[in-house]
Amino acid sequence: MSLLPRPSCLPALLLACLAPVAAASSLDLAWWRDGKVQSLRLQQGSTTPGQPLAAAAEIPLGSLWKLLVYVYAVDNKLPTPDYHCGGGKQEEVYCCDAGASVGRDAALAQSCGPFFAPARLGIAQRPWQEYWTRRLGSAPAGQFAWLADPARLEPARLVTLESLLRVLASVPAASRADAEAALLRVVLDGRGAGSVRWFGSQLRVKTYSWHQAKRPQERLGGAAGWLADGTPLWFGGSDSSSGIFQKWGRQIAGALPPAQSAEDSGCVVVDYFTRYPLRAVRSSEGLAAPGPLNGRYVVQFQNGQSLPIRSNGELALVSGPGGKLQVRGRLGVNEYVARVIDREASATEPQAARAFAIAARSYLQQNARRAESCQHIADSSATQRVSASPASEAALAAARWTDQLVLDGTTVQYHRDKPGANTMAWSQALAQARAGLSFDAILAAAYPGSALATAGNTGTTCKRLVKNEEWLAYALPRWERLLRREEGYEAPSQRPQVCALAVGAPYSEQSRNRIFMRPLATREDRITLAHEYLHIGLRRHPRGQDEDYVERLARRLNDLSLEAL
């Protein structure tokens, strides 16, 4: 099969285009940021970088085509039935044992080619081209010509480094989040197994192994995908992908660009001071009224004690039954975990703080209940104590670096200074970190028999409710006319996915632009859909935390839809 025409190199870049990717003692690393390729060449045993790979350099596509098919299938809601292994194909070794099956996410992490065969998934050339034209802003031609036909996405296909990174940069946030959740496995139990020590959850990449374009007898391995903040990334060198992780993991981690601010994932509602009745909450202007809190306050308790707190609208004063006052917070999962670090431990030793962040996130997953579109937990010595002021930067760094990582296979407990069965003692974790232990070794000592896994903060895959999504698509143009006048409303860049809810109350997963609910059957179901959509549209504003306001507005939106019908 002939290759599509490749973009020709300008004479000044001829040597760069023909240059081999990373010799045996070096590795190429590149990312896309600020509208351009940024790259460097790591040298084994040296801190001095070599000549970086040019943006116009050509690299083999390898198995990265599977990632592009995955994104296309997710974004276009294509059926992706499990692949059944018959045992007759050599490439099924990356899929499953004979007689078994593999699902979409596992197939991506394991690099199961037969699963993503475009013919199997019914991917035709014209809709494929139309999709990438929308994503790239022009038809897949020139340096993107390799993307024109899904049937010709072959491992040997040469693509420019710049074109690959630009394609990754064009992937929508929602489908990228699905791919990232699957690819987090790579550093846990995939071809990068064990490298979680260096990367935490910052690396979400699809591995590849092929051979050098100019030297077919030499292996070329590496990975491509994204960093946790969405930065497109590629790296490659002479070895298999697993060999690259083993030899270069620590150096790659040290050379990655500084993480940019990323939206917090998930949502946690915290009932503060549940064991200490409140008398009043005061600011410099006097008594605070029920509603969002913005600024500095002093919480006064019935026992005569008081506590200064600070809020940027994430906390609210709530008047409960009988006029009983309560402070309630609505936080992202990483902000919550960071506040637990500040309240229960500290971030002075990064490795100990990372271990504690994973323990705190695991405890949340195991003990929170679902309510108000979030996980719901009390601030209490009987559960986890949570700071009522914004998290410190050091604690946030530990929480974000371990984003989505939890412990599997054990019931997590911790204590300040008393270790026990499946109980981490913070004082001991500090001593271990100071002695040079990494966070994963600290966790292994405290929770033997457990394993690091990913929760995605909900651990839930999305079974799409097509009828619900169609109703939302029909209703949104009418809702937008009203919502544009609502303070704090920001329309998501893409319509949210609506996913089937197995148990519990409906909720929105704001960081991944998803709504979990039951199929539409009644007027109340449509109000629920509007309610959870509003939590996404108002996610950056205190109004998004006001359940009464959100419910009233959701009913108004539903009435608009009924009028249109």
pLDDT tens per residue, range 494-546: 788 898 876 566 877 766 678 888 999 999 999 999 999 998 898 777 777 67
In the predicted structure, residue 51 carries a pLDDT above the cut 80: yes
Least confident of 132-141, 158-167, 178-187, 532-541: 532-541
Give the pLDDT of residue 500.
Answer: 86
For the chain, the first-to-last Cα distance in angstroms comes to: 53
Mean pLDDT of 147-162: 94
pLDDT of residue 262: 76
543: phi > 0 → left, psi -120 to 50 → alpha, else beta; which?
alpha
Task: Please state which of the ranges 84-98, 143-157, 256-270 shows the lowest mean pLDDT.
Answer: 256-270
- Polymer length in residues for the chain: 565
Model confidence at 94: pLDDT above 50: yes
According to the model, what pLDDT value does residue 373 have?
65
Does domain 466-564 sit in CATH 1.10.10? yes
Domain ranges of the chain: 21-255, 268-454, 466-564
Same CATH fold assignment for domains 21-255 and 466-564:
no
pLDDT (0 to 100) of residue 24: 57
pLDDT band at 136 (very low <50, low <70, confident <90, very high): very high
Mean pLDDT of the chain: 88
Average confidence (pLDDT) over 306-328: 91
Looking at domain 21-255, its CATH superfamily turns out to be: DD-peptidase/beta-lactamase superfamily (3.40.710.10)
Its pTM stands at 0.78
Amino acid at position 81, single letter:
P
Q: What distances in angstroms separate CA 354 from CA 227, 256, 297, one per listed residue?
A: 18, 19, 30
Do 412 and 363 contact (CB within 8 A), yes or no?
yes
pLDDT tens digits along 277-292: 999 999 999 999 999 9
In terms of DSSP bridges, do strands 291-301 and 514-517 run parallel, antiparallel, or are they unpaired?
unpaired
* pLDDT for the residue numbered 21: 56
